[in-house]
Structure 1
Amino acid sequence: MTYKPHVLVVDDEKEFADTLAQRLALRDYNTQVAYSGQEALDILEEETTDLVLLDVLMPGMDGAETLIRIKAGHPLLPVLMLTGEATVERAIAGMKAGAFDFLMKPCDIDTIAGKLEDAYKIKADQDARIREAEINNIIARKGW
């Protein structure tokens, strides 16, 4: 059985978020939806999440602030930003804050899935290197 990555879709447009989550589920992703930045942060504290799709323009805590808070608590968690109103400045700010990529809405599901796959491969490689370093550290401490 192949591991199905957990994707958190964060968007205040409920219909968009739900539809995107359903389409990703059809592509073998475990999906969860949050309709605000704060709801996303709460879910990240409770649930295993491998990837985040985060809308930039949301009322209250916007995507930029949510990204900063996600990265503060989960620095290695890949976050892909989605927006219907991209500017070069906003994209640069998002990338500087740690976004994996920046995609325009509407975005083809194949493009989103491809970006998620790229991000997950990098995350899985990082996780494997961290586990290997932890094992080597234990072995060194035990003197094996």
Structure 2
Amino acid sequence: MSKNKNFPTVPLNEVPAHIEDSKAEGHRPVVLVVDDESVIADTLAEILTRSGYAGVAEYDADSALETALLMPPEMLITDVVLPGMTGIELAITVRRIFPDCKIILFSGQASTADLLASARADGHHFTLLNKPLHPQDLLARVSEGLKPRKRVAVEAR
């Protein structure tokens, strides 16, 4: 479904890998990418896969939920504007099922600010990126979002 937008292209061979080799050989974090424009979802999933993640593309919220139940994601990257359920509703549902799942929303439409403000008012806080997404920016956000949090050691006395 083309919306006649001119996005700059970056050849896949120019997309840098931002994930350490040790992660690439072992566990590959599942990152679910949802966009009703299949070329965007497929491209982002491919970039993530080539960078050491398990990128999985879906094109609507219902299919994304089915996939998430079969293959729990560590991160959800979703367009805000989807047919049927919005990306924000999808993010809230995924977060209820998988509380540790990291969420990144993206959109090419200014009207999504109202949807995001409404979600924030209900206590949901998500990162919003604007389309077009540059692969390096996306990989930096994914890498930062999936970094293990440092645990604070508590001494027993």
Fold similarity call, TM over 0.5: yes
The answer for unaligned runs of 5 or more in structure 1 is: 130-144
- 1:31 aligns to what? 55
Alignment match, 1:22:
46
- Separation in structure 1 between the aligned mates of residue 119 and residue 52 of structure 2, nearest angstrom: 27
Given that residues 9 and 31 in structure 1 are in contact (C-alpha distance below 8 angstroms), is that contact kept between their aligned partners in structure 2? yes
- Contact 1:81–1:94 (CA under 8 A) maintained in structure 2: no
CA RMSD of aligned residues (A): 2.1
TM-score normalised by structure 1 residue count: 0.77
Deviation at 1:43, TM superposition (A): 1.0
Q: Is the aligned partner of 1:105 residue 2:131?
A: yes
Confirm whether residue 58 of structure 1 aligns to residue 82 of structure 2. yes
Query: Aligned pair in 2 of structure 1 residues 48, 74: CA closer, same or farther (>3 Å)?
Result: closer
Partners in 2 of 1:78 and 1:10 — Cα distance? Answer: 14
User: Which structure dedicates a bigger proportion of its chain to helix?
Assistant: 1
- Give how far 1:27 is off: 1.2
Separation of aligned partners in 1, 2:116 and 2:50? 29
Structure 1 residues 25, 94: closer, same or farther in 2, change over 3 A?
farther
Q: Distance in 1 between matches of 2:113 and 2:85?
A: 21
Any conservation in 1 of the 2:81–2:87 contact (CA below 8 Å)? yes
Cα distance in 2 between the residues matched to 1:94 and 1:80 = 14
Shift of 1:48: 3.2
Contact 1:67 1:97 in 2 (8 A): no
CA apart distance, 1:107: 1.1
Q: How many residues align?
A: 126
Structure 2, gaps ≥5 residues long? 1-21, 153-157
Shift in Å, 1:90: 3.3
CA contact (8 A) 1:71 1:98 kept: no
Question: Could you tell me the TM-score, scaled by structure 2's length?
Answer: 0.71
The superposition leaves residues 49-78 of structure 1 with CA deviations (integer Å, 9 ceiling, x where unpaired) of: 211101100111111211121122112211
SS in structure 2 of the partner of residue 125 of structure 1:
coil
- 1:8 equivalent to 2:43? Answer no
Letter in 1 for 2:124: A
